[in-house]
């Protein structure tokens, strides 16, 4: 199964991004990401055997207990690649929790499944972003869009991606709440009471 860890967006953030997507909607060469699929990928795993699933779910729960919720922001847009002909138009995301969480997942997958399990994601450095549109045919760049949106990131998910003729279908297999130390203290005190 094709898997990735991701953060999905609240409705108000999606609305702001969908408004931005209208900038490329007029060009046939750009294909916008469907609003319900807008997400920020933390770690792409590619095709994994079903027997890896238990370890990947356990890793998500373990990291959810270690990391605290944080605030994410979107300020503007960019292109991959930045020079030449772009393939992807994205919204840049900022938030102090993105990189540590992505690195924690990377390290955890490496420990559990080995370096091979990280090959599908490539060796590019992690850049938190939300893909808005993919370029499928010649189409112009659109001017930068400035956002002023932020949201609390309180969970992430393990997602199954199935490639279909009309586009990928994402299924959230499990969500992992971010509880950090505060959550752990609550769990411990709840355990003492029972």
Report residue 176 as tokens: 């992992």
- Among residues 94, 93, 90, the alpha carbon closest in space to that of 21 is found at 90
List per-residue pLDDT tens for the chain, 194 residues long. Answer: 999 999 999 999 999 999 999 999 889 999 999 999 999 999 999 999 999 999 999 999 999 999 999 999 999 999 999 898 999 999 999 999 999 999 999 999 999 999 999 988 888 889 999 999 999 999 999 899 999 999 999 999 999 999 998 888 999 999 999 998 655 555 555 555 44
Interior CA angle at 102 toward 129 and 107, to 5°? 150
How far is Cα 145 from Cα 19, in angstroms, rounded to an integer? Answer: 10
Residue in 36, 39, 61, 182 annotated catalytic: 39
Residue 126 backbone phi and psi in degrees, to 5: -65, 125
Q: What pLDDT does residue 62 have?
A: 96
39's CB contacts (< 8 A; 6+ apart) are 6, 7, 8, 9, 130, 159, 170
Is there a catalytic annotation at residue 129? yes
- pTM exceeds 0.85 for this model: yes
d(CA 128, CA 95): 9
The active-site residue out of 36, 61, 129, 182 is 129
pLDDT score at 122:
82
pLDDT at 32: 94
Measured distance CA(43)–CA(41) in Å, rounded: 6
Cα–Cα separations (whole angstroms), residue 73 to 37, 69, 88, 113:
18, 13, 20, 32
């Amino acid at each position: 199964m094709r898997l990735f860890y991701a953060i999905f967006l609240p409705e108000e953030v999606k609305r702001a991004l969908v408004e931005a997507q209208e900038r490329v909607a007029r060009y046939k060469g750009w294909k916008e990401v469907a609003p319900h699929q807008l997400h920020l990928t933390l770690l792409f795993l590619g095709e994994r055997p079903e027997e890896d699933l238990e370890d990947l779910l356990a890793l998500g729960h373990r990291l959810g207990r270690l990391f605290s919720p944080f605030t994410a922001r979107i300020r503007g847009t960019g292109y991959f690649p930045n020079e030449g002909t772009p393939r992807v138009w994205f919204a840049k995301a900022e938030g102090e929790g993105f990189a540590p969480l992505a690195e924690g997942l990377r390290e955890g997958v490496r420990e559990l499944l080995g370096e091979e399990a990280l090959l599908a994601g490539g060796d590019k450095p992690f850049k938190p972003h939300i893909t808005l549109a993919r370029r499928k045919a010649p189409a112009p760049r659109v001017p930068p869009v400035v956002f002023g949106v932020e949201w609390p990131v309180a969970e992430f998910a393990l997602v199954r991606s199935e490639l279909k003729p009309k586009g990928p279908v994402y299924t959230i297999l499990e969500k992992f709440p971010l509880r950090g130390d505060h959550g752990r203290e609550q769990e411990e005190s709840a355990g003492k009471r029972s």
